[in-house]
Amino acid sequence: MHSTPASRSPVGEHPKRRPHRVGWRFVFSAVVVAALISGLVRGFLVDVYFIPSASMEPLLVEGDRVLVTKLDDTPGTVRRGDVVVFDGRGSFDPITDPRSVPERVVAAAGQWLGLTGSDTVYVKRVIGVGGDRVTCCSADGRLSVNGTTTDEPYVHAGDVPSEDRFDVVVPDGRVWLLGDHRSASMDSRSLLGAPGGGLIAEDRIIGRAFQLVWPLDRFAPIDRPATAS
């Protein structure tokens, strides 16, 4: 009586595992490529920032997330009225007043991942660019640029243009910045008399905020006001 040979796996059964391994390799490669593309986009084109304070209300409120374009942040392209994110090292940071701490903004990716983010980045509105003379306040209580009073519809309701008086000539390559919520903002006014006088170098500007993306019920573009031109 002949013994029956032990059953063997059919030819080709083992290779069935290969597609499984190939699938995981594909997924891993796709994740790596996506991360690289995301890093390049965030590094050179667009990034997302988290707003932790009320200094830019009513336009931006605490908890908002905004898209910031880096395509038009080269010196000379910044315009009056632009809402910009900038590196405050050597100018805004540190501000001796402890109220400056909530002014800082961080990359939203850091918030989502539980990371600290940068504590030297701020968001403000450009009021004066190189060559401008910015003064406050005129006889009717308004801010003026180059002798012309400026309408500021973005200023927080109930706020005056500034409780601090100033008369500043902005050098080329620098900008004068204020928050929209003037009574709750630490900005260029806070550094009057300090080295640099609250003027920020244009090459410290990371980019311009152009889109509010979160929360969804506040999704809206951040337009350049008419006065920017």
Type of residue at 151: D
Q: What's the domain count of the chain? A: 1
Segments forming the whole domain that contains residue 221: 47-228
Domain membership flag for residue 87: yes
Would you say 61 and 50 are in contact if contact means Cβ atoms under 8 Å apart? Answer: no
Domain membership flag for residue 201: yes
Quote the pLDDT of residue 65.
92
DSSP 141: S
Cα-to-chain-centroid distance, residue 172: 23
Domain membership flag for residue 38: no
Quote the pLDDT of residue 176.
93
Domain membership flag for residue 6: no
Higher pLDDT pick, 91 / 76: 91
**Average confidence (pLDDT) over 106-129:** 63
Prediction pTM value: 0.72
144-176: pLDDT as tens digits: 999 999 889 999 999 999 988 999 999 999 999
Domain membership flag for residue 42: no
Quote the pLDDT of residue 19.
55
| 88-118 burial code (b ≥16 CB/10 A, e <16) | beebbbebeeeebeebbbbbbbebeeeeebb
Quote the pLDDT of residue 228.
43
Domain membership flag for residue 159: yes
Domain membership flag for residue 37: no
Quote the pLDDT of residue 61.
92
CATH label of the domain that carries residue 125:
2.10.109.10
Would you say 148 and 80 are in contact if contact means Cβ atoms under 8 Å apart? Answer: no
Higher pLDDT pick, 18 / 172: 172
**Average confidence (pLDDT) over 131-152:** 91
Domain membership flag for residue 119: yes
21-58: pLDDT as tens digits: 556 654 544 444 444 444 434 444 578 898 888 999 99
